[in-house]
Chain A
């Protein structure tokens, strides 16, 4: 008798194990069907004021669609970049997910992860009717829309007005003026320029601006395409040399400081100028002094666009595996609507990509200027680390770190990048 009991027990344990491994799928879908629908939203803002905006937006949306429940997952930048890959490969990917523009978002489109939203456009029209076309373009592929931009993040040079006034200098417009300004500030024993490059994307974004000024736009566009990228243009080396020129004016040990520490230095008045994203403006609110922004200086003799702003739209895509495409698209239509876009600008002080959302009443003059430029331009210069794919930007970014440490020359850095680009080109064929 005992023996039989034992046999039964063992068998049950084993069955239990197997059952435990396979039952989660069915239970999950069951609960979703029970009461209304659940949409999973993955965004990259666990911090205020952005988190608050999305929470409020969801509540607002639920007023019109009470049957919809939201499961919100929010993770900060670096963690988001990894989480998204894992989540999308699972059987239950988030219905709506955040993405940057450029190769970063293109790979989702290419691999069929993003739903074609063309037919889900706002009532009786096209997405272009509500969204600024130049910001929609990075989310399009072969005339089809795969995502909706929500915001436009712009990288400006922020400067400490007090220091500038004390030294009687004006915000520079050209590279030579910029160097003069840096020299003047350095004489006063203040660190002129900040760079916290521990997470190497920061240095990469300096290069985004520099490349954009020095390299011709059509060359940049070809190099940002994984099928045609070569990075053999001498402008890239020149751009890295320009970065080297800045090193003596930066804080010491740029690779040892984080972006947050760089920001704190600026807020404490210890550095006079730092590149600041519009999306970071809320973080420097505590500064005890007045600060302003200027556009990255134009470079004499550069082949790039003279005064274009460095910035890129960011937005959301809908997973191609979603069970509720209509509702997910409805949420994106809702987010890009005039009403919500204005609310976005009010709550976050970040530029919205919806037409007419940024007005003189609700936004700073800088934002109004920037949005005018965006509306007029037909293309965007996208961040180096989202415009390119990992295989290329990884050696690029680590090369920049080594350049800052004086361990590599611009030529060596570009050689590594060219090698990676060749590999990518061949594998993309």
Chain B
């Protein structure tokens, strides 16, 4: 049967149109907006050229925010991706067979709770006077470390990151559990016969076999880190000072508090550029999708 050559395009058309309308159009529109100085309810748009872009690289708050995002990404990679893989491998081990379902549920639970609720919960934990964390430190005799976690510039962002890890690790672990369950049992048997111990099996069988999932997990955590917003917003609103500001909260402040929409668009474009760079590097390093 001959098909009309236009048919495949017609099938793609609705999806393509949707993507254009809701993704490509805003991206292009945003690029254009970043060359102007404007606010949301004034009709006047003043053309600035690249002024917003030159301004952004001299902006000290932007630098703090970018640095915080990168720290967040690095910690998330270590804790969520690597930690998640280890948790998954342990849970899938024969020794833990019996308790694994329960632990799996427990680790996954934070993903199901609304981030606002978690934020409130953690602001109680971090509370300097009645907070669990300080009380715990007191009980174990480390009260000299007790502090106002969210109120000190040195600890505020670490406290925010910690909450992010608590939420995210279970999710990544879940992804890895699925991936590990798909690894053929023969590989483990062969490794055992060759005399590999558990740690060797982990590094030489499990890690390479879940490579595809690692790619997904890395992209997921990195993009989550670059876009992280709610954690910071609920816990510290970027404060004290600007010490826990991240790119998206800074963008939000600029757009909706300071009413500098043009500058906010510029920040958004920089986030977009960084994300693309990250993606390109990852897909080069991990070389997935080609099969091996």
On chain B, the residues within 8 Å of A415 by CB distance are none
Q: What's the minimum C-beta distance from A24 to chain B, rounded to whole angstroms?
A: 15
Q: Is the CB of B7 within 8 A of A111?
A: no
Kindly state the separation between the CA atoms of A85 and B238 in the bound complex, as whole angstroms.
20
Q: Is the CB of B10 within 8 A of A6?
A: yes
| Binary B-proximity of A112-143 (CB < 8 A = 1, otherwise 0) | 11000000000000000000000000000000
Identify which of B95-103, B146-154, B207-215, B280-288 touches chain A.
B146-154
Q: Is the CB of B17 within 8 A of A398?
A: no
Supposing A253-B152, A255-B150 touch, asked if A391 and B256 sit within 8 A by C-beta, the answer is: no
On chain B, the residues within 8 Å of A10 by CB distance are 10-11, 13-14
Identify which of A158-166, A327-335, A400-408 touches chain B.
A400-408
B240: interface (CB < 8 Å)? yes
On chain B, the residues within 8 Å of A408 by CB distance are 241
Q: Is the CB of B42 within 8 A of A198?
A: no
B92: interface (CB < 8 Å)? no
B112: interface (CB < 8 Å)? no
A147: interface (CB < 8 Å)? no
Q: Is the CB of A14 within 8 A of B240?
A: no
On chain B, the residues within 8 Å of A113 by CB distance are 41
Q: Is the CB of B18 within 8 A of A17?
A: yes
Chain A: interface secondary structure? helix
A21: interface (CB < 8 Å)? yes
Q: Is the CB of B150 within 8 A of A198?
A: yes
Kindly state the separation between the CA atoms of A401 and B147 in the bound complex, as whole angstroms.
16
The answer, among A256, A399, A427, for a CB contact under 8 Å with B150, is A256
Q: Is the CB of A399 within 8 A of B147?
A: no
Supposing A7-B10, A390-B257, A407-B153 touch, asked if A86 and B17 sit within 8 A by C-beta, the answer is: no
Supposing A255-B150, A256-B150, A256-B151 touch, asked if A86 and B13 sit within 8 A by C-beta, the answer is: no
Chain B: interface secondary structure? loop
The answer, among B43, B240, B258, for a CB contact under 8 Å with A394, is B258
Interface centre among B13, B17, B41, B239 (most CB of A within 10 A): B41
Question: Which residues of B come within 8 Å of A, CB atoms?
Answer: 3-4, 7, 10-11, 13-14, 17-18, 21, 37, 39-43, 123, 126-129, 147-153, 236-242, 252-253, 256-260
Q: List 30 interface pairs A-B (beta carbons < 8 Å), by A numbering.
A: A10-B10, A13-B14, A21-B21, A81-B256, A81-B257, A82-B256, A85-B39, A86-B40, A88-B40, A88-B41, A112-B43, A198-B151, A198-B236, A198-B239, A253-B152, A254-B151, A255-B151, A256-B126, A256-B128, A257-B127, A257-B129, A394-B253, A394-B258, A398-B239, A401-B240, A402-B153, A404-B240, A405-B153, A407-B153, A427-B37
